[in-house]
Amino acid sequence: MNKVKHIAIIMDGNGRWAEIQGKKRVKGHEAGAEVVKAITTYCSNNSEIERLTLYAFSTENWKRPRLEVEFLMKLLDKYLKNELPSYLENNVKFEPIGDTRAFSKSLQKTIKMVEEKTAHCDGLVQSLALNYGSQDEILRAVNSLKKSSQEITSEMLSNALDCKSDVDILIRTGGDTRLSNFLLWQAAYAELFFIDKLWPDFTPKDLKNIVKQFTHIERRFGGLK
């Protein structure tokens, strides 16, 4: 039986969820933030799961209307501040990935604050992908290694990435079957689950079902059984 250490999720479908109900798209993001809480708590109570990486804002999401982007930034700030007690209570370490230098100084400060205050937690690592794009991450890693005269090894590149651990399960909600620039290196041998449910409707039970399916998959990593 496979053991799941690292789950990564493309949390897609917030806008559609709201639109179906005649609400503004941003209401979907608020509902989506509640699901982030529920899924993080669920994972923190499952000792097998070491890492949960959630795609919250991509390097491409800046293309959205300014008001939606601003709302997402405010929501992130609020989420992190409100959730700090639960991170601590559930022994969850917060580790952002992505290039957060593009965010406002005050949001960067909140991100740093939660990172520092949860640095001692040794339960689940919850990684939020913030202004994250896999191609950007790989480029930044390659540039950071450029000074070395040594030939770059796979291990060196892997360690220079924001996210240094391979993904076991990669889930995308919202019905689309693409990776949208998420963890392209780390998901090389991930098991992929594309779920029709929109992110605000996703539940810990859905995750439990996926983990159950995963445990029975034959992972060969290019070898033979």
Measured over the CA atoms of residue 18, residue 22, residue 25 and residue 26, the dihedral's sign is negative
Specify the amino acid at residue 110: T
Told to judge if 61 belongs to the known catalytic residues of this protein, a careful annotator would answer yes
Which range binds Mg ion by CB under 5 A, 5-13, 38-46, 117-125, 190-198? 5-13
Q: Provide, rounded to whole angstroms, the least separation between the CB of residue 199 and Mg ion.
A: 9
CA gyration radius for the chain? Answer: 17
Residue 92 vs 98, nearer CB to ligand IPE: 98
Q: Which residues of 145-168 are buried (b: 16+ CB within 10 A; e: fewer)?
A: eeeeeeeeeeeeeeebbbbebbbb
Q: Provide, rounded to whole angstroms, the least separation between the CB of residue 60 and Mg ion.
A: 10
Q: Is 61 in the site for ligand IPE (CB under 6 A)?
A: yes
Q: Is 200 in the site for ligand IPE (CB under 6 A)?
A: no
- Residues in contact with 3: Cβ distance below 8 Å, sequence separation at least 6, in sequence order: 48, 215
**Interactions with Mg ion, residue window 81-140 (CB under 5 A):** none
**What is the C-alpha separation between 193 and 172, in angstroms, rounded?**
6
Q: Is 15 in the site for ligand IPE (CB under 6 A)?
A: yes
**What is the C-alpha separation between 195 and 203, in angstroms, rounded?**
12
Q: Is 71 in the site for ligand IPE (CB under 6 A)?
A: no
108 contact, one of Mg ion, ligand IPE, none, CB 5-8 Å limit per kind: none
The tokens for 72 are: 């997402």
Q: Is 162 in the site for ligand IPE (CB under 6 A)?
A: no
Q: Which of 42, 55, 71, 79 binds ligand IPE (CB under 6 A)?
A: 55
Q: Which of 16, 24, 117, 140 binds ligand IPE (CB under 6 A)?
A: 16
Q: Provide, rounded to whole angstroms, the least separation between the CB of residue 39 and ligand IPE.
A: 14
């209307």: which residue's tokens? 65
Q: Is 176 in the site for ligand IPE (CB under 6 A)?
A: yes
Residue 172: strand pairing partners: 10, 194
Told to judge if 12 belongs to the known catalytic residues of this protein, a careful annotator would answer yes
Name the residues annotated as catalytic.
12, 61
Q: Where do contacts with Mg ion occur on this chain (CB under 5 A)?
A: 12
